[in-house]
Structure 1
Amino acid sequence: MENHAENQIVNKNENEISIIARIDARYKKMSKSHKAIASYITDHYEQAVFMTAAKLGETVGVSESTVVRFASGIGYDGYPEFQKALEDWVKSKISSVQKIGAKYGKSTQSEILTSVLRADMDKLQDTLENLDGASFEMAVDTILAAETVYILGMRSCEPLADFLHFYLNMIRGNVILLRSTSVSEIFEQMIRIGEKDAIVGISFPRYSMRTLKAMEFANDRNAKVIAITDSVHSPMNLYSACNLFARSDMVSIVDSLVAPLSVINALVVALCLKRPEDVKSNLEQLEEAWNNYQVYLNDEINFIDEESMLNYPLIKENK
């Protein structure tokens, strides 16, 4: 599975592969110093694009010659060609924002709303047509069978991880949401992960190197790895045995996460249907806790005409 996914990325025409995709595809086999360079470039490409090989090496803490060897190692004929490829990649990201401005610049607010919603509908339709039902079933069974489930999503994917963690915690115990600003902190939270456990890694372009490293670590510990990502070309597939694909394109400077959220929502519903009694019991216990410890304050209401939800002592005293 791992080698097949890697070959899908590496064996494409080199001219069609972005510099970041090359780095991601070769990351696992890199030396420690090359991994340090790769991590810095993917996380700080805005600064790296202006650096000489000597400056990049100084910043990362390696020699200039190591940086040059890194460039050759990912398929470039030296550092100048590598730097030009990085420059082109950064320009393409800036260009995509400019194209959005050209597309929507003269549109009314309602036209923008309609256009974006229709684009999201297209992403949902594409996800529906291409999602593998067998992988979805495997993900459900894996999550239910795991002793502990770890969930990780960085940057724009963090809300997706939060959503999955919130509802998965209603269904079963031992669910850990990984939060971190560094890879070392993630490893500290995952130190006990093993073959009886599972991790759900969520990442879309630009892919998170921290999420990728966490999935590699889990895979090395023989844990079950589930990836929620955008395509078969995603580097997240290198370490996962189960892949759930959802289309996610950049609409402007933000990523559209409608389709990924829908896939996660479907995952939660499927899990609930597998464990209806557990869900019912957990909700009853939660309701009891609310009743026992939030007698004088409810922070949720349904509709404004439901008197029972607005029946606070403070409101009564003011009447």
Structure 2
Amino acid sequence: MLRLFEGHRLTPTQRRIAHCLVRRAEEAPFLSSVELAELAGVSQPSVTRFAVALGFDGYPALRRRLRERAREAGEPADRRGNVYQRAVLAEIEQLRRLAAELSDPTRIEEAGRRLAASRPLPVLGLRAAAAEARGFAYFAAKVHPEVRLLDEGGSMLADRLDAAVAAGASALLCFVLPRYPREVAEALDAARAAGLRVVMVTDSALTPVAHSDDLLLTAPVSTALSFDTACAPTLLGRTVLEAMCDALPDAQARLDAFDTRAAARGLFLD
């Protein structure tokens, strides 16, 4: 579906509608303009203008195209099992898509170099993305000389970003997942204004907090359960971590030193 939006300059409101269609791809061909407007949190005329911006006569023409694409794609191969099994199968499909995207590692390798060169390295993730940021920061601290985790919002967040820039940071890694916190958008604006190069791991190229200058890495979340699951974005974050390790000449030495200290202190049972 993303190909439908490529090559079009969309307003923030239109990007919101597009993102809603992507996240609800299975039901999108059957939504009325009023239903889509309600789901996206926009007005019904905005949906009509969105369709026209994509080159259609109106929303009905866009919906017909979405239905044609659905027929061309066919039904999902596996509808068996209960809701929990189908959720796992949906996540597996997202991981397959991620694997296909990673056939060209250029962007991942560039992200690894940028993050390796930043001293310190701030890692940002709020609300739904806080777990991804914490996981990355935990492991990254074993190979990177200084990692600063930013997983709480509030007035202190801007202060901590300023402190990282003053200490010499050149890049920021940000995890952003739906729903997109307003504080993340504000923090990213401040980071860019301060000269930080943003590497973003998110669920869609249509995320409303991205900027054209960001190095954007995407992996879809799954919406099969009441709350989104983010196995693919988490794994994408780990591939960035691996690329950063490759770009750090002393990464293995730091890991060996940590293992020695851990054994001396009896940190682990195995």
TM-score for the superposition, normalised by structure 1: 0.57
- CA-atom RMSD, angstroms? 3.3
Q: Which range is displaced more, 155-164 or 130-139?
A: 130-139
Name structure 1 gaps, 5 residues minimum.
20-48, 50-70, 77-106, 302-319
Partner of 2:185: 212
The 2-side partners of 1:163 and 1:240 are apart by 26
1:164 aligns with 2:136: yes
Q: Which has the higher contact order (CA 8 A, sep 6+)?
A: 2
CA contact (8 A) 1:226 1:240 kept: no
1:280 aligns with 2:242: no
**More helix as a share of residues:** 1
The 1-side partners of 2:143 and 2:162 are apart by 24
The 1-side partners of 2:221 and 2:120 are apart by 28
Code of the aligned partner of 2:205: V
CA contact (8 A) 2:136 2:237 kept: yes
CA contact (8 A) 1:156 1:255 kept: no
Partner of 2:65: none
Judged with a 3 Å threshold, the aligned counterparts in structure 2 of structure 1 residues 156 and 217 are, in CA distance, closer, same or farther, namely same
Paired residues for 1:1-319 under 5 Å:
8-10=9-11, 16=17, 111-130=82-101, 133-182=105-154, 184-194=155-165, 196-238=169-211, 240-275=213-248, 278-294=250-266, 298-301=267-270
CA contact (8 A) 2:121 2:171 kept: yes
Q: How many residues align?
A: 208
Code of the aligned partner of 2:119: E
CA contact (8 A) 2:221 2:230 kept: yes
Offset from partner CA, 1:252-301 (integer Å, 9 cap, x none):
221111100111111222222333x522221232233224434xxx4432
CA contact (8 A) 1:215 1:240 kept: no
The 1-side partners of 2:15 and 2:218 are apart by 24
| Alpha-carbon offset, residue 240 of structure 1 | 4.7
CA contact (8 A) 1:151 1:176 kept: yes
For the residue of structure 2 that corresponds to 1:235, the secondary structure is coil
The 2-side partners of 1:292 and 1:246 are apart by 39
CA contact (8 A) 1:212 1:236 kept: yes
Judged with a 3 Å threshold, the aligned counterparts in structure 2 of structure 1 residues 290 and 13 are, in CA distance, closer, same or farther, namely closer
Judged with a 3 Å threshold, the aligned counterparts in structure 2 of structure 1 residues 250 and 291 are, in CA distance, closer, same or farther, namely same
Offset from partner CA, 1:84-114 (integer Å, 9 cap, x none):
xxxxxxxxxxxxxxxxxxxxxxx99x63342
CA contact (8 A) 1:229 1:245 kept: yes
For the residue of structure 2 that corresponds to 1:128, the secondary structure is helix
Code of the aligned partner of 1:285: A
Judged with a 3 Å threshold, the aligned counterparts in structure 2 of structure 1 residues 283 and 124 are, in CA distance, closer, same or farther, namely same
The 1-side partners of 2:18 and 2:239 are apart by 32
| Alpha-carbon offset, residue 134 of structure 1 | 3.0
CA contact (8 A) 1:150 1:200 kept: yes
Judged with a 3 Å threshold, the aligned counterparts in structure 2 of structure 1 residues 161 and 18 are, in CA distance, closer, same or farther, namely closer
TM-score for the superposition, normalised by structure 2: 0.66
Judged with a 3 Å threshold, the aligned counterparts in structure 2 of structure 1 residues 113 and 120 are, in CA distance, closer, same or farther, namely same
The 2-side partners of 1:272 and 1:142 are apart by 12
| Alpha-carbon offset, residue 18 of structure 1 | 8.1
For the residue of structure 2 that corresponds to 1:225, the secondary structure is strand
Offset from partner CA, 1:222-254 (integer Å, 9 cap, x none):
111111112221123126520001111322221
Name structure 2 gaps, 5 residues minimum.
1-5, 21-40, 48-78
CA contact (8 A) 1:229 1:236 kept: no
Judged with a 3 Å threshold, the aligned counterparts in structure 2 of structure 1 residues 111 and 142 are, in CA distance, closer, same or farther, namely same
The 1-side partners of 2:197 and 2:144 are apart by 17
Code of the aligned partner of 1:189: R
| Alpha-carbon offset, residue 210 of structure 1 | 1.5
Judged with a 3 Å threshold, the aligned counterparts in structure 2 of structure 1 residues 272 and 217 are, in CA distance, closer, same or farther, namely same
